[in-house]
Structure 1
Amino acid sequence: MKGVESFGWVVLGVSLVVVAAVLSNRISDRIRIPAPALFLVGAAIASDLFPTLASMRVQTVQNVVTVALIMILFDGGMGIGWRHLRPNAGAVLWVGVAGTAVTAAGIAAFAHLILGFGWQVALLLGTALSPTDPAVVFSVLGRREIVGRSGVLLEGEAGANDPVGIALMAVLIGAAGLTGGHAVGHGLIEFLRQMAIGGVAGVAGGWLLLRLMRRIPLPSEALYPIRTLAFAAAVYGLATICGGSGFLAVFIAGIFVGDANAPYKREIERFHSAVASLAEVVAFVVLGLTVSLRDLPKVDALWPGLIIAVVLTLLVRPLLVGLISLPVKLRTGERIFVLWAGLKGAVPILLGTFAFTAGIPDAQRIYEIVFIVVTFSVVVQGGLAPTVAKWAKVPMRSTELEPWALGMRFREEPTGLHHYRVGTGSTADGTTIADLPVGENLWISMINRDGRLVQVAHNTVLQAGDEILALIDTDTDTDTDTDGNDPGKIFTAASDR
């Protein structure tokens, strides 16, 4: 019976943590501190107060956070989708890869030349702190959603630089015993190999998953999201054992199926969003338990960590990533916000744990410094993100909750039925339905405006933010009307195309 009682305490503790995670968003909205910061610091304090909580092995921590990242990256890819990423794919790839490289190089140079770290430690610090996490930014924006290219760029950059940063760290650790040109050559080949195999595995896995989702029915609605979750994990595993970046493969697979039509797609998306939110909490809590706040002064990590955090926030990312992003077309305010919103999250701390498993000298100090930088980034940068967004006039729209739904289910895919959102400054914005430049084979059947139905009539004026359900005659073409116009471009703002 003692074993049952002990397990009951475990269940009670885990349940209370999950409840606290759900309620933390309300607290975060009030105090303007991202919820992940509360769990990260709270777990670190708990590990000092109750030392038994910090007994988890580093390898176990890495495994738990890896599983969490699979869920987070797959959901992030689904949230972007190929349709939204396609116009910005070049910018995302450039900023995600080149931005990661220059950030790692900038931090490493500062840590070596100014703070006096050895090159190995400096490069490990730079690589660990190069990935970003926009989920922290979006958590403090509350029910406001970034509109336009800047939001896609932030999400896409994080999705790209997480696998890039992890691959760079693996390359650095793998080349630790090499010197000179051998180390550079080995590192470059290994990095390109991981990216190539991960990319191919992601495209192939996404293509196959989409076919399964569309063509193989399951006996229960509840099994559909479980199938996609299991398949995402399989894509990671296959890419990893083939020597590629499993994280990149998962992210690409998510993008591939993100905006594609499939049975029970809405339920699948909601399930993955909930799982990813829980996975983020688990990752921050587990990583926070590995940190001892009491040891920060002993390993001389506090001041170096704060100095690196300030330099990274005010110099390295604005200057180096700012130069890299100059070819990307953004308004000045949006560019400032993108550079400010390059927050650090769970991935840098995960990368810091690699120093332990690789037996790197001074690993404890590296890990503590990374923790301090991430905490500073989440609390200070994340807390000021709404203020910077308002000052920079970043276009946003309200995303109030809509608890009521009305709809129909079909046994076959309803071809010709399309969902659009009227973009600010689009052709449809401020135009009556009768004056829309579409042919006679498109009918608007429903308009959702701020959570309320709007009567559909010839003189109804559409507004930015309206959600439109439109039916296109499939006897002509599912994507264009009789005049050859693409309705998607009519409802979408020019800056988002």
Structure 2
Amino acid sequence: MATGADRTRDGVAVEGFALYVAALGAVAVLAVLSNRLADRLRLPAPALFLFAAAIVSDLFPKLNELSLYAVRHLVEIALVLVLFSGGMSMGWRRLRPSLGPVALVGVLGTLLTAGALALVLRWVFGFDWLAALLVGTALSPTDPAAVFSVLGRRTVVGRSGTILGGESGANDPVGIALMASLLAAGTAGGWSAVASGVGEFALQLVVGSVVGLAGGWLILQLMRRVSLPDESLYPLQVLFAAASIYGVATLARGSGFLAVFLAGIVVGDARAPFKREIQRFHGALASLGEILAFGLLGLIVSLRSMVTERAWLTGLVLAVLLTFVIRPIVVGGLLSTIRLRWGERIFVVWSGLKGAVPILLGTFILTADLDQDLRLFDIVFAVVAFSIVVQGGLVPLVARWCRVPMRTTPLQPWAVGIRVQGEPVGLRHYTVASGAPADGRPLFELSRDEGVWVSLVSRDGEQVQLGRSTVLRAGDEVLVAGGEQPAAERVFTGRDA
């Protein structure tokens, strides 16, 4: 039988737990609402998460005592959510025409950027080679959470948007694999260090690619062939499968981040039961992952040490060199071999934002037992802060200057449709692409010449009243009945199925 003291202790424990849950929920609600504030201030939402958490950790030093390894693991989980959702949003059909530029910028561009940054840190700031290479590697990848958040509901029309999104997804695994290779090579010496680093890097990319492609195929089989008793279980099934892919790839010494990104791309274009519900669920999880990643990483930053160690000044100079010299030379040079307008090249060069992944890689520096490791981490944070605020804040303006069309997708809170048990045959959904055969053509021509019948058209979130002379425009969402899929794919998207 419980005594009064026991009940008091239990009551105190229950009250303490309830207070903790209430505070955590309130903070999470404020984090979600901050997206609206960021939109009004024309600032990227990650900037608010990052700086708010950094300020709070300085005001309440106990928050700064979080386990570095716990923060790293939680951020890695958040990035898995962001990368898998980003891969699903892109899909193979959209990526395929830009696969060459994405691989060129995402892999070779990341390596060259890391090398260029290391040279600047060594020759201009006087760091030793290992510290210079580690900081250069931490700052070499762009960040999918930052890029996707800055773009938000804006869709970049044309190849530049695909290249930008593909680069941010592809170069994170490259940067993380390169950091792991450098740390592994740091225990060796001479040529053995070089051989160890190159071998580890190649192993991470190869194993991650194989596991990701195979895992994506397995997820498709689960989605298509395994019947579950409740529709709410389908998104969970895909979530846990994606987590397993990350774990298997990592255990096999591959890049788990590359694996989940590729798995998401494989799943992205597939027709499967409850596909839209699965995408919405993972989109919400990616938003949660973005808040979690930037919030936790902000808590381990000390703004006070940045000022006392003058790391902010070094970081500011390095950020300016990276933004206006290094990335334009490296990425701009690589893109010069690709068929893009000059405006599109400039937009891609400018919009390569740093974010959670560089800070995550900076935590590896804190555990590498280097001299001035805290100052090195603070430099990484300063560069990321400049990138998110300055670069991210100016992305829409740069898009206008470069004449890169950015279409804002309005929220559509109402849906119209029916649910059927079998896969709908001959009924497909498309978004009319600019310059596609359907762009600017009336409906009667499409039915007469192409053999496709448009059943529903949504334009700027509003339903269009249909008639024989209704003319389709780029950006229209259409529901199509009839016609062979390859023909319909070409008519509405301008590319072969």
TM-score interval for Structure 1 and Structure 2 normalised by the shorter chain? over 0.9
Instruction: Give the alignment partner of residue 465 of structure 2, picking from 448, 451, 455.
Output: 455
Instruction: State the secondary structure of the residue aligned to 2:307.
Output: coil
- Report the equivalent of 1:130: 140
Within the alignment, does 1:149 sit opposite 2:167 as a pair?
no
SS in 2 for 1:330: coil
Among 87, 107, 114, which residue is 1:97 paired with?
107
Greater mean deviation of Cα atoms: 353-362 or 18-27: 353-362
Deviations 1:195-227 (A, max 9, x none): 111000001100000000001011111111111
Other structure's SS at 1:145 match? strand
Q: 2:188 and 2:370 mapped to 1: Cα distance? A: 14
Distance in 2 between the 1:177 and 1:300 partners?
Answer: 30
Gaps of 5+ in 2: 1-10
What SS does structure 1 have at the residue aligned with 2:457?
strand
* 1:17 partner letter: V
Deviation for aligned residue 1:84: 0.6
Q: Deviations over 1:383-419 (max 9, x none)?
A: 1111111111111223011111110111011122111
The answer as to whether partners of 1:108 and 1:119 remain within 8 angstroms in 2 is yes
Are 1:211 and 2:221 matched, yes or no? Answer: yes
- Pair 141,4 (structure 1): closer, same or farther in 2 beyond 3 Å: same
1:29 counterpart residue number: 39
Of residues 268, 271, 278 in structure 2, which corresponds to 1:258?
268
From 309, 320, 325, give the equivalent of 1:299: 309
- The structure with the largest helix share of the pair is 2
Indicate the residue corresponding to 2:89 in structure 1: 79
Query: Amino acid of the residue matched to residue 487 of structure 1?
Result: A
Amino acid at match of 2:66: M
Supply the distance in 2 between the matched residues of 1:342 and 1:265 (Cα, whole angstroms): 30
Following superposition, the deviation at residue 439 of structure 1 comes to 5.2
The 5 Å alignment of 1:391-402 reads: 391-402=401-412
Quote how far apart the aligned CAs of 1:138 are.
4.5
Partner of 1:443: 453
State yes or no: 1:175 paired with 2:176.
Answer: no
2:489 matches 1:479? no
The 3 A distance-change label for structure 1 pair 411 and 115 is same
Q: Which residue of 2 aligns with 1:11?
A: 21
Q: Per the alignment, do residues 146 and 468 of structure 1 end up closer, same or farther by CA in structure 2, a change over 3 Å counting?
A: same
**Contact 2:446–2:453 (Cα < 8 Å) also in 1:** no
Q: Structure 1, residues 250-308: CA drift from partner, whole Å, max 9, x if none?
A: 00000000121111111110110011101111111110110111111333412111111
Given residue 261 of structure 1, which amino acid in structure 2 is its aligned partner?
R
2:493 match: 492
Does residue 51 of structure 2 align to residue 45 of structure 1?
A: no
- In the alignment, is the contact (CA less than 8 A) between 1:84 and 1:152 conserved in 2? yes
Query: Does residue 245 of the first structure (1) align with residue 251 of the second (2)?
Result: no
Q: After the TM superposition, which of the residue ranges 161-170 and 449-458 deviates more from structure 2?
A: 449-458
Q: Give the structure 1 partner of residue 294 of structure 2.
A: 284
Find out whether 1:342 has 2:346 as its counterpart.
Answer: no
Q: Is the 8 A contact 1:32 1:140 kept in 2?
A: no
Identity percentage of aligned residues: 55
AA aligned to 2:305 is D
Partner SS state of residue 127, structure 1: helix
Which amino acid is the alignment partner of residue 351 of structure 1?
A: L
Matched residues in 2 for 1:472 and 1:189: separation?
Answer: 52
Once the 2 structures are TM-superposed, how far is the Cα of residue 426 of structure 1 from its aligned partner? 1.9
Match of 2:443 in 1: 433
**Once the 2 structures are TM-superposed, how far is the Cα of residue 118 of structure 1 from its aligned partner?**
0.7
Range that drifts further, 143-152 or 54-63:
143-152
- Given residue 435 of structure 1, which amino acid in structure 2 is its aligned partner? E
8 Å contact kept, 1:438–1:487: no
Match of 2:240 in 1: 230
> Alpha-carbon deviation of 1:464?
1.4
Which deviates more from structure 2 when the two are superposed, residues 246-255 or residues 461-470?
461-470
Instruction: Please say if residues 299 and 364 of structure 1, whose CA atoms lie closer than 8 Å, have aligned partners that are also in contact.
Output: no
| Offset, 1:100 | 0.4
Cα 1:142/1:86, change in 2 over 3 Å: closer
Q: Distance in 2 between matches of 1:9 and 1:116?
A: 49
Gaps of at least 5 residues in structure 1 are 481-485
Kindly report which structure 2 residues correspond to 1:105-124, keeping only aligned pairs within 5 A, or say none: 105-124=115-134
Cα shift at 1:437: 8.0
Partner SS, residue 447 of structure 1: strand
Paired residue for 1:483?
A: none
Q: How many residues align?
A: 487
Deviates more, 1:164-173 or 1:213-222: 213-222
1:292-441 matched pairs, under 5 angstroms: 292-436=302-446, 441=451
- Distance in 2 (alpha carbons) for counterparts of 1:141 and 1:253: 23
* Shift in Å, 1:142: 5.1
Taking only aligned residues, the RMSD between alpha carbons, in angstroms, comes to 1.6
Other structure's SS at 1:360 match: coil
Three-state SS of the structure 2 residue aligned to 1:410 is: coil
Secondary structure (helix, strand or coil) at the match of 2:208 reads helix
What corresponds to 1:199 in structure 2? 209
Q: Identify if the C-alpha distance between structure 1 residues 409 and 104 changes in structure 2 by more than 3 Å, giving closer, same or farther.
A: same
CA distance in 2, matches of 1:182, 1:439: 65
Q: Matched residue of 2:270: which SS?
A: coil
Say if 1:43 and 1:285, in contact at 8 Å, map to a contact too. Answer: yes
Cα offset for 1:360?
Answer: 2.9
Q: How far, CA to CA, are the matches of 1:370 and 1:162 in structure 2?
A: 15
Specify the code of the residue in structure 2 equivalent to 1:402.
Q
Letter in 2 for 1:146: V
Alignment-mate amino acid for residue 207 of structure 1:
W
Deviation at 1:472, TM superposition (A): 2.3
Equivalent position SS for 1:262: coil
Q: 1:135: how far off?
A: 4.1
Deviations 1:342-387 (A, max 9, x none): 1101000000111222323322111111111101110111111111
